[in-house]
Structure 1
Amino acid sequence: MHCQTIVLGAGIVGVSTALQLQARGRQVVLIDRDQPGSGTSHGNAGLIERSSVIPYAFPRNVGALLRYGLNRQPDVRYSLLHLPKAAPWLLRYWRQSAPGRLAGAAADMLPLVQRSVEEHDALIAAAGLSELVQAKGWIEVFRDPRLFAQAKEDVKNLARYGLQYEILERDQLQAREQQLDGGVVGGIHWLDPKTVRNPGGLTRGYAALFVQRGGQFLHGDARSLRQLDGQWQVQSQRGAVTADEVVVCLGPQSAELFGPLGYRFPLGIKRGYHMHYGTRGDAQLQHSICDTQGGYVLAPMAQGIRLTTGIEFAASDAPANEIQLQRCEALARRLFPALGERLDEQPWLGLRPCLPDMRPIIGPAPRHKGLWFNFGHAHHGLTLGPVTGRLLAEMMTGEQPFTDPAPYRAARFD
């Protein structure tokens, strides 16, 4: 089988990239070993996060570093066995999180974040998936008066980004979410983001739209990628597929392809967990809730109330460890006392692909003609999938990119 472009990886980034190329007239074959939306795209907090204009940075405050050093915080946990291997990457991440460099990363990511909801809206409408998405935003809640006061000051510094939000004092928050514990002191309701009640289902819906429009999805092994006679070849369920161009959208598994090709991109992995819960009685959670101190999100999903944890630094293939989930669950039961029993037999464990400068890699491979990259979206793969797919498709088809792609070039690490 021959096509113009092979897209490797059927997560939200790969499916969105395939759709954007298809919309520009490319004949595309999408290949994954699993069903679309089965990997990292399945397990997240379901936020199309228009309000995350500042990337997640490494803590610079000495007090915070000391607290994390004790490895008892609910939002970040690390494996002592993995720490020596992760240390060089963490040091690089820490350096890139200095105030000036963080401001540069925020400026570079802003054009992508600003268009994130718009690009999703177009695909949601085309795929008929509006029942999966709500325009309620999400609420950041605070249990510490000092931290709430600081947060109210911090939002003033975001005025230039034109974000919509409401500051909720205790009574206002309780009126909006009546089942929250009375110990909360207030919150910030971010209004621009949208929430997805089944992120994996959204990705599968986008994949169905791709097939409906004439695209082909095949099961195959991306690790079989070879360059032969100036073309790219991948083995699939229907035999070899060849194309002039191939796009690597494999998220945390991208290193399995770019490594053998000689690229040494510093792709790190942040692990994360989720678990679904029932509720007691007829209690309901109306909005997605982020407990900033606890570093977790509670989100109403089709499968129940999903608790999504923060960050775990451990080997990608290490067994699941419930310590972080247990810590977050204990906090969540205090915040939302109506949280019921677990609904899943085992916690879901996923891998977030991260680069230390907090920007994804989007664009051509420096040393291989016809090889393109779109990975490293960190915590915002769901948010940025369609917009980074558009940017890459514009670059590949010779359109004028809607924003300068230079900050995301692969050559910055080459």
Structure 2
Amino acid sequence: MTHDTLVLGAGMVGVGVAYHLARRGRRVALLDRREPGRETSYGNAGIIQREAVAPHAFPRELGELWRVLGNRGVDVRYTPRGIAQAGRALWQYWQHSAPEAYARIVPEYASLIALSIDAHAEMIEAAGAEALIRRDGWLEVYRTPAALEARQAEAQALAERFGLTFDALDATALRAREPHLDAQALGAVHWRDPWTAADPGALVAAYARAFEAAGGECLRGDIRDIARHGEGWRVTTAEGAFEARDVVLALGPWADHWLGTLGYRLPLFVKRGYHMHYAPREQAPLHHWLLDAETGYLLSPMQAGIRLTTGAELAPRDAPPGHAQLEAAERVARGLFPLGERLESRPWKGARPCTPDMKPIIGPAPRHAGLWFALGHAHQGFTLGPATGQLLAAMMAGEVPAIDMAPFRAERFL
């Protein structure tokens, strides 16, 4: 064997795992069919969400459920095939979102999110990627007084409980930060702790170069088989076979197929998403990453233009794209901020790997020595990749991780 460990999947999570294993002296290969950071990690909103201590729960109020079922919202869309394919997992998602269950999940999830900024900071320094990073937080913008007041009260409670910082902005304060927003924006929560990346894919690529500088190797290959081989594992690709003692499955929305071939029936499902870049109209600058919170899309001032990122689409991972959600978001966004022309010929489409209890799966495979999981991060793979790498590397070394990992192990679903 030429490698101690094969990490499968070169998104933010896989790169984070590979980097931390290489820093510990392991001979690590990072394997993907594409260059690092070119799939799901490329297309996200680019926020390292330190404030995201409370994961997004399944709606339980009848009015909200009825609105989602209408399938005309900007934040959530679905296809019948998507609902059928993810039906069991969605039912479990609804159950885990019940008040008592959700109250147990939040502090577990928050313990992981709390590691995000420090974990990224280490990798940013190692990668020399400071030019991609901003440290002035991001805005949740509200259109109605009731929603603004409720969210600012909730933000205060979260800040006190989890050590977060934010500014409660009225219309005047919001206009001082973003003078080109329409008057329908009545105020905002300005989260101060998160960092943002002006090119998420480029940040992952920079981290991959830091991994190589630490002694790691990036390999290209389309996986055809994953199987036990002697005392370790063999991963066969269209380009050749690779062997190692340990294999880390960090394949994001593609993990479910390989989990199935290895005998694991974990309740994973995908939420698809889209983005498009725009020029600003009349050179109007957007200064902050901005969520239109009551509508459900996000605007990000990226190097490639202003990126509009949609909410969630429940559809099979590889089904043809449906652009109605993006088009609906674009119409609303043009009324809030002066977006100009589209800068690309077609929207980007990706898929987020989700679990019904909203927590990723991190740790050893229950029935296979040398097989490890780092998957199911949903909307927060970009935020949690480096922290996942730190924690999994400690587990693989037989050390006690920085937080209790029991809530994130695969056994909770078996």
TM-score range, shorter-chain basis?
over 0.9
1:162 Cα offset (Å): 1.4
Match of 2:40 in 1: 40
In 2, Cα distance between the equivalents of 1:87 and 1:264? 14
Q: Give the match's secondary structure for 1:218.
A: strand
TM-score, structure 1 normalization: 0.98
Give 2:175's aligned amino acid.
Q
Match of 2:386 in 1: 386
Match of 2:194 in 1: 193
Gaps of at least 5 residues in structure 2 are: none
In 2, Cα distance between the equivalents of 1:354 and 1:38? 19
1:322 Cα offset (Å): 0.7
Q: Give the match's secondary structure for 2:37.
A: coil
CA spacing shift, 1:128–1:166, aligned 2, 3 Å: same
Match of 1:402 in 2: 402
In 2, Cα distance between the equivalents of 1:87 and 1:145? 36
Alignment of 1:257-268 (within 5 A): 257-268=258-269
Give 1:88's aligned amino acid.
R
Kept after mapping to 2: 8 A contact 1:43/1:199: yes
In 2, Cα distance between the equivalents of 1:212 and 1:202? 15
Q: Does 1:325 align with 2:308?
A: no
Match of 2:161 in 1: 160
Match of 1:121 in 2: 121
Give 1:174's aligned amino acid.
R
CA spacing shift, 1:81–1:215, aligned 2, 3 Å: closer
Bigger shift: residues 217-226 or 124-133: 217-226
Give 1:210's aligned amino acid.
F
Match of 2:344 in 1: 344
Q: Give the match's secondary structure for 2:220.
A: strand
Match of 1:89 in 2: 89
In 2, Cα distance between the equivalents of 1:4 and 1:82? 38
Deviations 1:134-171 (A, max 9, x none): 00100000111121121122223212111100001001
Bigger shift: residues 286-295 or 148-157: 148-157
Q: Give the match's secondary structure for 1:82.
A: helix
In 2, Cα distance between the equivalents of 1:236 and 1:86? 29
In 1, Cα distance between the equivalents of 2:276 and 2:30? 30
Give 1:52's aligned amino acid.
A
Match of 2:243 in 1: 242
Q: Give the match's secondary structure for 1:259.
A: helix
Kept after mapping to 2: 8 A contact 1:82/1:315: yes
Give 1:150's aligned amino acid.
A
Kept after mapping to 2: 8 A contact 1:13/1:381: yes
Aligned Cα root-mean-square deviation (Å): 1.2
Q: How many residues align?
A: 413
1:224 Cα offset (Å): 2.0
Q: Give the match's secondary structure for 2:150.
A: helix
1:240 Cα offset (Å): 2.2
Give 2:210's aligned amino acid.
L
In 2, Cα distance between the equivalents of 1:254 and 1:83? 19
In 2, Cα distance between the equivalents of 1:309 and 1:202? 21
In 2, Cα distance between the equivalents of 1:142 and 1:223? 48
In 2, Cα distance between the equivalents of 1:385 and 1:372? 15
In 2, Cα distance between the equivalents of 1:26 and 1:110? 30
In 1, Cα distance between the equivalents of 2:88 and 2:220? 36
Q: Give the match's secondary structure for 1:281.
A: helix
Gaps of at least 5 residues in structure 1 are: none
